[in-house]
Structure 1
Amino acid sequence: MNIIIHTRHAELASDFKSITEGKLHSMERFSVVIDRIEVEVIHEANPRQGKQSHKVIITSHGSGPLLRAEATGFNDVAAFDDAIKSIELQIRKIHEREKSHDRQSLRTMKVNLSE
């Protein structure tokens, strides 16, 4: 998975890239195909936007489904955490939809009596 980080009018926290890569690579456990993820961080300079001055937009590209989430927060890491929760919810829904639910009851199971 390729991770691209764009910034507009913002300076990222020193550990933002490592946090981003760690959380996005943990999404691979759902076995949903994602080739590239773009993370865009926008800082609003307006002082009235104090608690929502940072906006993070996460977009996935590739042969799998298109995933997109936006979130705002008081800093870039808080906004990213909110956006990644939304992406994780979308991926879980897709993963559950693709999962096979062919469960067998004890009556329909085959018994092996060769022992």
Structure 2
Amino acid sequence: MEIVVTGRHTQIKQRFRDVVEKKMDRVTAIAPDAQRVQVVLTHEGNPRQADTAKRVELTVIAGRTVVRAEASSADEFSALDMALDKLTLRLRRTRDRRKDHRRGYESIVPVDLGAVEPPADETSVEEEPNNSPQAAVASDLGPGESVEVQVGDTPIVIRRKLHIAEPMSIDEALYQMELIGHDFFLFVNKDTNRPSVVYHRHGWSYGVFEIDTPENVAADK
């Protein structure tokens, strides 16, 4: 399994790399088909956030399945342990789900809306400096392409990216939301062909938003 360790606003020490490589045995024990794990260590320079100054993001790619987890702490080693605990729990859920022959779901690549390091071959679309929200959505994008535009002199940055995802059911979308560890998940509902969002409310309660146009709704009646 390939292990890639990168840092944001910090340098990666050899000791941290050694600990990461040793602890990744937990991943291969649960997911022997894992091909790549990406570890991103971020340092928060704000002294008011000293208790969460180190954030570790873990992303595992196993076939067509992507599983994510992240955690923050005062030091990178405890953050790594907490993130790894979350990751192994989600990997076990993935393994157990594959054993559930009553469902027979295929693994689907989730649309990850979190802050993840883009792959090396990801293409960025260079935009002329237009500094407007419209510029972020004006151009056509291909799969995997992205564009970022800063709005005027403000600190606001709008990032737009095109993801390709297979339509899925609401149950599958909830499952994928758990894998990437987010409170919401954007998908195309295969039963209605509508762009939809599932989101976590509280406890075991979830919500679903679906989007459609008045014309389409009227045509279906």
Structure 1 runs, 4 residues or longer, greater than 4 Å off: none
Deviation at 1:15, TM superposition (A): 1.9
Q: Deviation per CA, 1:40-92, whole angstroms, max 9, x where unpaired?
A: 00001100001000111111224142111111000111111110001100111
Root mean square deviation of aligned Cα: 1.9
Structure 2 unaligned blocks of 5 or more: 102-221
- Aligned twin of 1:58: 58
- AA partner of residue 87 (structure 1): L
Partner of 2:55, secondary structure, is strand
Instruction: Give the Å deviation of 1:98.
Output: 2.5
**Structure 1 residues 39-48 or 64-73, which shifts more?**
64-73
Say whether 1:73 aligns with 2:47: no
Mean alpha-carbon deviation: is it higher for 47-56 or for 5-14?
A: 5-14
Aligned partner of 1:36 in structure 2 is 36
Q: Which protein has the bigger helix share?
A: 1
Distance change (3 Å), C-alpha of 1:64 and 1:28: farther
Structure 2 match to 1:88: 88
- Residue in 2 aligned with 1:26? 26
Question: 1:96-115 counterparts in 2 under 5 A?
Answer: 96-99=96-99
For 1:63 and 1:80, how far apart are their aligned partners in 2?
A: 24
Q: In 2, Cα distance between the equivalents of 1:60 and 1:54?
A: 20
The answer as to whether partners of 1:12 and 1:76 remain within 8 angstroms in 2 is no
Query: What is the number of equivalent residue pairs in this alignment?
Result: 101
* Percent identical: 29
TM-score, normalization by structure 1: 0.78
Separation in structure 1 between the aligned mates of residue 95 and residue 62 of structure 2, nearest angstrom? 16
Give yes or no for contact 1:32–1:91 (8 Å, CA) kept in 2. Answer: no
